[in-house]
Structure 1
């Protein structure tokens, strides 16, 4: 009887650890999708000047994939946790506004043709408005995972 109880407890412990690992991975993938979108203004500014049509297609397709990934993670985070979902939705809303404006400006700017122009200063692309929302998302994830972690594991 004691052996069965210990085996059940160990199985539940392993299952709980696997679930927390799955959640950590999924929440970090959601943040990675955000980061990919956040990098697009830089990618657009650094597009090749010698192949504008190909670059337009390449970057548009990459952006389409990123948008689909963001939509998936928006839905998933809302399903997983109301609090985390709200923090992620607020982050993505501001991301689309801020980075979207930066992408618009990047498409209107000429493509970079020199190595020195690859360094893009914050005066050209300023995404600092996202930092408080990034921190809020990370804190929401941390709180959610902490609530799921058993007290003896903390």
Structure 2
């Protein structure tokens, strides 16, 4: 009895994975140049972005500085207008004494209307100074209170006195109209305004 032999296939030679993957070619000169160009372009774009950001920051700072300076200028003007309203009321006793003697009725109307406008202006600035600054508002209120007491009494006396008819009488003596009590309060108001504005003034503008 003969045995049957099974043919064993011969092993198939295998190829390693390393031999199947083609080797990466070294970078050529064009690839290196592209990388360098990309780096340079990135640096240029970054520099341009930083320059734009710096320019925008400077422009914003300059705009805010201009706005702050304009606001300070507006405040200075309004505080000065408040003092001008005080000065206009302060001048009324002199204006009444120097009224025209040949038109008493017209002069009463003219001076009364002028005084009404001044009173309205004073009331406005009394409210405005209180809103803007507690310290300056208090100083202004004290000034106007004394103004109405002192200059108001002087106006009352001026209406009772006959109008001035000679050039020499135009120079009114302090013994006739004495408003010297207002001077310390005027100084106090100006000092309060100065302190308020200085507190609002940026360090670069002082």
Question: Do the two structures share a fold, i.e. TM-score over 0.5?
Answer: yes
Structure 1 length-normalised TM: 0.99
Cα RMSD after superposing both structures: 0.5
Deviations 1:35-55 (A, max 9, x none): 000000000000000110100
Q: Which has the higher helix share?
A: 1
Inter-partner Cα distance in structure 1 for 2:100 and 2:172: 15
Structure 1 unaligned residues grouped into runs of 5+ = none
What is the CA-CA distance between 1:152 and the residue it aligns to?
Answer: 2.4
Superposed structure 1 runs of 4+ greater than 4 Å apart: none
Deviations 1:11-30 (A, max 9, x none): 00000000000000000000
What is the CA-CA distance between 1:108 and the residue it aligns to?
Answer: 0.5
2:152 paired with 1:95: no
Deviations 1:64-88 (A, max 9, x none): 0000000000000001011110000
* Number of aligned positions between the proteins: 154
Structure with greater Cα Rg: 2
What is the CA-CA distance between 1:59 and the residue it aligns to?
Answer: 0.2
Inter-partner Cα distance in structure 1 for 2:109 and 2:171: 24
Inter-partner Cα distance in structure 1 for 2:150 and 2:188: 17
Q: Which fold has the larger relative contact order, with Cα–Cα distance below 8 Å and residues 6 or more apart in sequence?
A: 1
2:65 paired with 1:13: yes
